[in-house]
Structure 1
């Protein structure tokens, strides 16, 4: 029997998209996957051989504690934690309500830290690994991406710090940085952006209305041309199973090209590149 059949993997945010695909790919490779979902109907959808759904909202301490107890009570070793749960909320810095800022950071940063803290004792015992799903937005913050990119930048920093803390203890920390992925997350992000835009003041709409529309169009285009969730899942599985994983993996051609470019360009040059790219998506002015 393969060694993997005796090991657990936790995947958060496994209801749809990359999380669901990663859970299926890892189960196919012989692991027993605890797939975190928020609703019973999502549990029914993801449940299959090798995949055990667990109700998990990573911002709810009681559910995080229940997950840790489930892992602690299993005789199998915890091989990896895949911190994948996330939401996308896009709006100009001026116009995004503080409650939304806090929600984005609770889900995209603090929730991951809470799950990591809860499962680190098990990972230390098994000399396992933490896989944090970041984003190309963790390297470049486009206009209206302040909250989302801010949380992803912070997740990158936390990952670096954690890696340097636990490497000598046998735990590896890996960051996965996807670009455009064909999942439901982008369509939900566009809907959220439109909802938030409708709440802007007339002055804010005058300042940022066309910018929001342009970013929505760009987001939809980037998603349509992106890789599939299954392709992303194979990269995640590589990070989980490689004997000596890299500290970072990109997903998709756009991430592989843009992330190295970011390191080379000055801030002003990058500003011009991003603005020129976005300009193509601004709504055309109509005349009577």
Structure 2
């Protein structure tokens, strides 16, 4: 019997690449979305077929849907993993950056999901949305990133309730600190954006930006490996009766638990203390 298909977006590096390899190891044929030819060459292996996919480009999303529709194998799962991290104070982050974060971290996932839902409905497969602990707790300077992740969580809940009666499951995965390049890129972007702040904004927020960068670097360094995170994603993909949400890492489990238990003002004080405030 031929292996079922799985689509993993954002598979060039990090958790996406690791998840693609892990799912191929478990016997699936993985269509791994990458944006560049050199990334395709790096990920290509037994069971992993790279496809050029920028989830913000409609023609590439349509080409992916045509590739899946033309394959006789069922589509077992879509793993919406692509994403970017852009941090900045709400006052200082340019509107173009807000729109781009939502375009990649929310609207692109919706576009791919819409395009592949006919195949998932036929196979009674599942959608696995890679959110973040930032989809449950919004740290300072995380307004755009957390806003898109909060929205992805809401869309996931709505979608789950829409298509569960049709046999398609929706699962959310919420990583905490994971040792990937995303945090490094996020810190570099935060510093570039901070350099564009007005003098008054710099006076208000420069210390906060640096404290967040330090916290992000520390959390990443002490986080799980991408391979360990990939095993959680694979569990969300393959478990016969999955939970609606999985966390990745002790920090994610701890933070989401605190968010459920503590009043907002108390949680504010906990976050401020961790930032040295």
- Moved beyond 3 Å, runs of 4+: none
| TM-score for the superposition, normalised by structure 2 | 0.99
Choose from 93, 103, 107 the match for 1:110. 107
- Displacement of 1:257 after TM fit? 1.2
1:173-208 superposed Cα distances (whole Å, 9 cap, x missing partner): 000000000000000000000000000000000000
Flag structure 2 segments of 5+ consecutive residues without an equivalent: none
1:146-170 superposed Cα distances (whole Å, 9 cap, x missing partner): 0000000000000000000000000
1:279 aligns with 2:276: yes
Choose from 230, 235, 240 the match for 2:232. 235
Q: Which residue pairs with 1:209 in the alignment?
A: 206
Choose from 183, 187, 191 the match for 1:186. 183
SS at match of 2:83: coil
CA distance in 2, matches of 1:6, 1:140: 38
CA RMSD of aligned residues (A): 0.7
Choose from 152, 166, 171 the match for 1:174. 171
Flag structure 1 segments of 5+ consecutive residues without an equivalent: 281-288
Choose from 257, 260, 268 the match for 2:257. 260
Q: Which residue pairs with 1:43 in the alignment?
A: 40
Q: How many residues align?
A: 277
Instruction: Give the 5 Å matches for 1:49-198.
Output: 49-198=46-195
SS at match of 1:177: strand
- Displacement of 1:124 after TM fit? 0.1
1:15 aligns with 2:12: yes
- Displacement of 1:269 after TM fit? 0.5
| TM-score for the superposition, normalised by structure 1 | 0.95
